[in-house]
Amino acid sequence: MEKLNASINSNKGKLEFLEEDYLKWKNQIDQIEKVLHEYNSEIQELTKQKKECFNQINIITLQMSEDFLGSKKDIKRSSAESNNTLPNSEKIKNLQKEAKEKQLAINKIKSKINITQLKLEEITPIFESYKKDYQKLLKLIEMDEKKMIRLQSELKNRIKGDIDTEFHNIDSISLELLNSPNDIEEKIEKVNYELNKISIPRYIYEPQNPFDLSLITQKLITFDEEIKNLEPEIIIDINENDLNGYFDQFKKLEDILSGIQFLTNKFLPEVNLNSHFRILVNNVLLNFFIDIEFVRNDKEHINFENLTTPEKIFFIIIFYISINLYFKKENIIFSNVSILSKYNKAGSIYRTIRKILPIFETDDSLSKFYLIFIITNLDLKKEIKNLRIKTILES
């Protein structure tokens, strides 16, 4: 329960830290969606008014084409004409003008909708990232609190069964100060493990007289003599040239990683990320591996698995491109068939291309490179500026 309590407090702190940014982006999303709803309502009303204009035109046209014979028809016609002295042609012209004005107003609103929709698409991935983290923290807190309640109930029931009946007011006991049997057993195992590491083997001391260290002293004297006798044979031959070669190769690896990190960080700010490449070694210092840490919005440190799917796809593409840029490959070819199917998302791939192309256009150091994207089975629904497209059909 101490661990759970620490976890709850830690996650609540993170939630409080995250909440301000989350609500800020949520409010922006809500405002934009409200504006889009209002625009669509205006379009519906204008469309309705435009349709009414055409209905009136159809009625007038129909009246003009009918042969008004009979007294009833003449009376109706005379009544209609007496209410409006304008000729039918002028009425139609005015209605057509009104319908045209309605359509122009609709077009202007649609243009505003497109601009607003682009803004929504731009900030939605950021909001979704905050939303995912926010909801994850809420869920973790909820799960831990439920687990805490369950553990408290279990401990109360267990103590009620063991304690004397005179201590009937079990609720007065602070359960947070109690350890569960499993926790106690784990602590005992850890203590025994540490004791075994520091205990002296029985064959080098006398259990009946543990303060007699003569056996240990004799062992040390014997060991010292053996070392002295073998000293000429103990030679550690170090080839300085080999060592220098190892250090040179490692330095080259560090330079490559530093260069690729620099290039990836040219692109990552487009999705509010920054990367840091690290070389780590395992516990026995025999193997090393490359770890990439990301910083979101200059404050949140995360690994690749905690990125959102659009962020992962963005990084995969720009990481591949950065490697090719570092090794000076002028024609950089990227294909969506080279990535895992779960990252093969049309929206995120095309959004990544849209975001990185302007960087190649404005950065002089990148102007000599050519990007070639081979995309299969992913429809491009919206044209990408300054991207020449060639369709290759299967024969």
What pLDDT, in 10s, does the model give residues 369-384? 999 999 888 888 778 8
Q: What are the distances in angstroms from CA 314 to CA 331, 339, 352?
A: 20, 12, 6
CB pairs under 8 A, 24+ apart, for 16-22?
A: 18/130, 18/133, 18/134, 18/137, 19/134, 21/130, 21/297, 22/130, 22/131, 22/133, 22/134
312 has pLDDT over 90:
yes
**Alpha carbon distance 136, 129 (integer Å):** 11
> Alpha helix (H) ranges present in 231-300?
240-267
pLDDT at 393 exceeding the cut of 50:
yes
Instruction: Tell me whether strands 370-374 and 331-335 are parallel, antiparallel or unpaired.
Output: parallel
Residue 392 sits at φ, ψ, to 5 deg, of: -110, 115
Q: Looking at the structure, do residues 289 and 197 belong to the same domain, yes or no?
A: no
- Give the residue-averaged pLDDT of 228-252: 72
pLDDT at position 195: 66
Q: Which residues sit opposite 289 in a β-bridge?
A: 280
Q: How far apart are CA 136 and CA 120, in angstroms?
A: 23
Buried b (16+ CB within 10 A) or exposed e, 140-160: bbeebeeebeeeeeebeeeee
Is the model's pLDDT at 245 over the cut of 70?
A: yes
Read off the pLDDT of each residue in 285-297 and give the average, rounded to a whole number. 82
Same domain membership, residue 40 and residue 149: yes
CA angle (54, 56, 57) in 5-degree steps: 60
Q: Do 289 and 332 belong to one domain?
A: yes
58 lies in a domain?
A: yes
Q: What is the DSSP letter of 337?
A: G
CATH of the domain at 262: 3.40.50.300
Domain extent, residue 339, equals 242-374
59 & 111 share domain: yes
Question: Quick one: 28 and 146 in the same domain?
Answer: yes
The secondary element (H helix, E strand) that includes residue 274 is strand 273-281
State the Cα–Cα distance between residues 278 and 287, nearest whole angstrom: 14
Given this model, what pLDDT does residue 36 score? 92
Give domain status of residue 43, yes or no: yes
Indicate the number of domains in the chain.
3
Asked if residue 126 and residue 190 are part of one domain, the reply reads: no
> Is 391 domain-assigned?
no
End-to-end CA distance of the chain: 66
Does one domain contain both 56 and 135?
yes
CA-to-CA distance for 395 and 392, rounded, in angstroms? 9
| Torsion (CA) 30, 32, 36, 38 in degrees, nearest 10 | 70
* Residue at 388 is within a domain: no
Question: CA-CA distance, 383 to 114, in Å (whole number)?
Answer: 14
* 232 domain-assigned: no
**Are residue 255 and residue 340 in the same domain, yes or no?**
yes
Across all residues in the chain, what is the average pLDDT? 80
With respect to residue 9, please indicate whether it lies within any of the assigned structural domains: yes
Asked if the structure places residue 236 within a domain, the reply is no
If asked whether residues 18 and 147 sit together in one domain, one would say yes
Q: Tell me the sheet residues that pair with 257.
A: none
**Closest listed residue to residue 122, CA positions, set 310, 250, 328, 327:** 310
Same domain, 138 and 199: no
Residues 210 and 246 in one domain: no
Q: Is 353 or 181 the better-scoring residue by pLDDT?
A: 353
Q: Are 60 and 88 in contact (CB under 8 A)?
A: yes
Residue 19 structure tokens: 């909440």
Q: Give domain status of residue 394, yes or no.
A: no
199 to 61, 188, 215, 328: CA distances (angstroms) = 110, 16, 15, 60
Residue ending a domain, among 173, 193, 223, is 223
Find the helix or strand (DSSP H, E) in which 335 lies.
Answer: strand 331-335
Q: Copy the structure tokens of residue 34.
A: 């409200």
pLDDT at 211 over 60: yes
Same domain, 81 and 194: no
